[in-house]
């Protein structure tokens, strides 16, 4: 038996024979060409073919893994036409290099550039640019063999790394799980594995060797454990866990359409966190009751310049319409700190988490705010839209936000544009200041949504981006839990509702406490809706309330 520890990126246990994936690669031939025009035309033809193939992959991905997965290949199509990328290839070809070598060199250069970036997301794009370059170079060289077609029986695929397009081409009936030597958890290959529901472990290094081909391996995509030729007892234990997971998944599926209600009849709303309209399909598939947090800044981060009012309106309208009358709460721009868009030209700050970010930017750049609010109010005519403001610390900020909304409403009225005048305006409780004045804020806000990711960071003075703070960043800290109670009670005192939209909302260890406190809504990632429903339906709040609240008050905390 050989046990290897990797990083689990897509949960589930899979068992099957090892199959080594070897790419049918030919090193790009490298020579100088005389007719550079003809060579450039050869590149353009290969680029067009690649874009067409990527379109076909997008359709396959849409059918098998949904809109998000399709978007990945549509993004690849755009990357294949990216001006900087294409210009670099043209320069090499015009300099006399053959097209396949020019594509290979440019792909390597861009990939190295992405790999050296600090941002995890950008680093993960290194694999994407290599994927595209490999496709174009392959077309130029006439390499069309699909190494994956060799798989005949279901296997655990082992590879150095897998590109997103290789992952989507895998025949799911023959793929039990996969393991890669390299890879990143936020890379698209890992994301695709999760959307396709394939157990996957990455980063095992070179522990599995070609002599292991055909031998049985068990992988646990949650713990990252990879066990080759497991002992009888370990094998039995892992298979038992697998059977339990499958049964639990089926149980959760059976909960679709059920209510989020406790054993003693207390209802709680379970909504979803999304990054854009494309995520609505996941909300629906997982039976989310609404959208509790639409992180609107992602639309800005995806652009190279300020999105127009019409572009924003289209995105909001599409999400609101798709939810067919169910609530969609859109948070206004939360740019700054770890979310930077160059065109905002924000000054470099010593402490960006405490700098000009979120609502502070909106209130200092009224035109940017106005454009977003106009788009939001226009979209409000298409369903039930709510707006909330991030990083509020003072009552005057909320008043200014409200005034900005009123001005926009007046403008739209004068223009004869239809909107919903009853859009609820909420405050995100993310700072200790907002907690301490939550009684005052509750008088003027329509609801509260507690952003526990930032609230933990600011309550405990722990940078949420810092990877070595470990147990110091503790969202279970009594300061955070007591803050949630104080905020919820203040909301209720003034007849308002309070929800949680930070990651903590999905923590089923705390669901009973949140119910005991009286939290009205939990907004979580779509895949957590059903596990949360399962937890809620097993709780008797009446029975547990006193004990849980006493525990929160006690010295033991
Ligand atoms: C939060 O801070 O808890 C939150 C939901 O917002 P974000 O994670 O986008 O900062
Ligand atoms: Mg936040």
Whether the CB of 502 sits within 6 Å of ligand 1: yes
User: Whose atoms come closest to the Cα of 452: which ligand?
Assistant: 1
For 108-120, what is the mean pLDDT? 87
| pLDDT at residue 28 is higher than 80 | no
Which positions are annotated as active-site residues? Answer: 188, 501
Residue from 502, 507, 525 to probe ligand 1 pocket by mutation (most atoms less than 8 Å from CB): 502
For 161-166, what is the mean pLDDT? 75
Burial class (CB in 10 A: 0-12, 13-18, 19+), 395: middle
Q: What is the predicted pLDDT for the residue at 21?
A: 82
Verdict on whether the full-model pTM lies above 0.75: no
Give the ranges where 286-385 is alpha helix by DSSP (H). Answer: 297-301, 309-322, 359-364, 366-379
| pLDDT at residue 147 is higher than 60 | no
Query: pLDDT tens digit string along 432-488?
Result: 999 999 999 999 999 999 999 999 999 999 988 777 888 899 999 999 999 999 999
Fill in the DSSP letter of residue 446.
S
64-68, 80-84, 142-146, 387-391: lowest mean pLDDT where?
142-146
- Determine the Cα–Cα distance for residues 121 and 461; give it in Å rounded to an integer: 25
Query: pLDDT tens digit string along 211-228?
Result: 888 899 999 999 999 999
Residue from 428, 451, 455, 475 to probe ligand 1 pocket by mutation (most atoms less than 8 Å from CB): 451
Position in ligand 1 atom list of the atom nearest CA 449 = 5
Residue whose Cα lies nearest atom 10 of ligand 1: it is 454
Whether the CB of 279 sits within 6 Å of ligand 1: no
The CA–CA distances, whole Å, from 247 to 173, 240, 254, 524 equal 20, 11, 11, 23
Whether the CB of 452 sits within 6 Å of ligand 1: yes
| pLDDT at residue 48 is higher than 80 | yes
Residue 164 CA, ligand 1 centroid: distance in Å:
28
Residue from 331, 332, 428, 450 to probe ligand 1 pocket by mutation (most atoms less than 8 Å from CB): 428
Query: pLDDT tens digit string along 316-362?
Result: 999 999 999 999 999 999 998 878 888 999 888 888 899 999 999 99
Query: pLDDT tens digit string along 363-415?
Result: 999 999 999 999 999 999 999 999 999 999 999 999 999 999 999 999 999 99
Whether the CB of 464 sits within 6 Å of ligand 1: no
| pLDDT at residue 94 is higher than 90 | yes
Binned at pLDDT 50, 70 and 90, residue 172 comes out as confident
| pLDDT at residue 186 is higher than 60 | no
Residue 428 CA, ligand 2 centroid: distance in Å:
8
Nearest to 455 by CA among 429, 486, 481: 429
Nearest to 64 by CA among 167, 149, 202, 153: 167
Radius of gyration (Cα) for the chain, nearest Å? Answer: 26
Fill in the DSSP letter of residue 27.
P
For β-strands 225-228 and 497-500, DSSP reports them as unpaired
| pLDDT at residue 57 is higher than 60 | yes
CA angle 542, 430, 366 (to 5 degrees): 135
Residue 57 CA, ligand 1 centroid: distance in Å:
33
Binned at pLDDT 50, 70 and 90, residue 162 comes out as confident
Mean model confidence pLDDT for the chain? 91
| pLDDT at residue 133 is higher than 60 | yes
- Report the 10 Å Cβ neighbour count for 146: 10
Give every strand in the sheet of 200-202, ordered side by side. Answer: 2-5, 225-228, 216-220, 13-20, 155-159, 175-180, 200-202, 7-10
In the chain, % of residues over pLDDT 90 = 68
| pLDDT at residue 166 is higher than 90 | no
Whether the CB of 451 sits within 6 Å of ligand 1: yes
Whether the CB of 107 sits within 6 Å of ligand 1: no
Whether the CB of 297 sits within 6 Å of ligand 1: no
Residue 440 CA, ligand 2 centroid: distance in Å:
21
List of residues 6+ apart from 365 with CB closer than 8 A: none
Q: What is the predicted pLDDT for the residue at 187?
A: 64
């Amino acid at each position: 038996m050989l046990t290897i520890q990797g990083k689990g990126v897509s949960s589930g246990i899979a068992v099957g024979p090892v199959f080594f994936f070897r790419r049918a690669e030919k090193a790009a031939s490298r020579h100088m060409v005389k007719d550079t025009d003809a060579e450039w035309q050869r590149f353009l033809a290969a680029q067009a073919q690649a874009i067409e193939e990527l379109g076909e992959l997008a359709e396959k991905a849409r059918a098998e893994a949904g809109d998000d997965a399709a978007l990945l290949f549509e993004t690849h199509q755009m990357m294949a036409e990216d001006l900087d990328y294409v210009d670099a290839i043209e320069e090499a070809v015009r300099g006399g290099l053959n097209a396949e070598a020019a594509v290979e060199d440019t792909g390597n250069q861009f990939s190295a550039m992405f790999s050296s970036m600090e941002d995890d997301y950008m680093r993960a794009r290194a694999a994407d640019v290599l994927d595209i370059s490999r496709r174009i170079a392959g077309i130029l060289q006439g390499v069309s063999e699909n190494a994956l077609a060799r798989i005949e029986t279901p296997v655990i695929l082992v590879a150095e790394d897998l590109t997103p397009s290789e992952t989507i081409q895998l025949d799911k009936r023959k793929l039990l799980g996969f393991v890669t030597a390299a890879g990143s958890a936020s890379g698209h290959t890992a994301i695709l594995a999760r959307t396709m529901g394939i157990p996957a472990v990455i980063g095992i290094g070179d522990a599995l060797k070609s002599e292991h081909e055909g031998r049985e391996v068990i992988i646990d995509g949650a713990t990252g454990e990879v066990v080759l030729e497991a002992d009888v007892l370990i094998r039995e234990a892992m298979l038992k866990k697998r059977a339990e997971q499958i049964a639990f998944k089926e149980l959760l599926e059976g909960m679709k359409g059920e209510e989020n209600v406790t054993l003693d009849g207390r209802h709680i709303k379970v909504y979803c966190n999304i990054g854009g309209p494309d995520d609505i399909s996941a909300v629906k598939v997982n039976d989310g009751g609404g959208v509790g947090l639409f992180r609107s800044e992602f639309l800005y981060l995806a652009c190279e310049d300020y999105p127009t009012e019409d572009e924003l309106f289209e995105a909001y309208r599409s999400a609101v319409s798709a939810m067919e009358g169910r609530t969609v709460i859109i948070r206004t721009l939360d740019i700054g700190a770890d979310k930077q868009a160059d065109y905002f030209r924000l000054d470099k700050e010593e402490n960006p988490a405490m700098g000009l970010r979120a609502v502070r930017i909106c209130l200092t750049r009224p035109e940017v705010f106005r454009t977003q609010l106009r788009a939001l109010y226009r979209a409000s005519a298409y369903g039930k839209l709510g707006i909330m403001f991030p990083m509020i610390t003072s009552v005057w900020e909320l008043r200014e936000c409200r005034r900005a909304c009123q001005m926009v409403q007046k403008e739209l009225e004068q223009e004869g544009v239809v909107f919903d005048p009853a859009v609820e305006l909420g405050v995100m409780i993310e700072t200790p200041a907002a907690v301490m004045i939550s009684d005052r804020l509750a008088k003027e806000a329509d609801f509260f949504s507690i952003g526990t990711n930032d609230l933990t960071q600011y309550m405990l003075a722990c940078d949420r981006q810092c990877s070595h703070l470990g147990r110091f960043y503790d969202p279970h800290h009594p300061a955070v839990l007591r803050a949630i109670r104080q905020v919820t009670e203040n909301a209720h005192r003034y007849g308002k509702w309070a929800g949680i939209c930070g990651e903590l909302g999905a923590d089923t260890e705390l669901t009973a406490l949140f119910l005991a406190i009286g939290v009205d809504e939990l907004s979580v990632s779509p895949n957590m809706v059903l596990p949360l429903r399962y937890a809620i339906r097993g709780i008797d709040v009446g029975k547990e309330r006193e004990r849980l609240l006493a525990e929160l008050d006690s010295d033991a905390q």
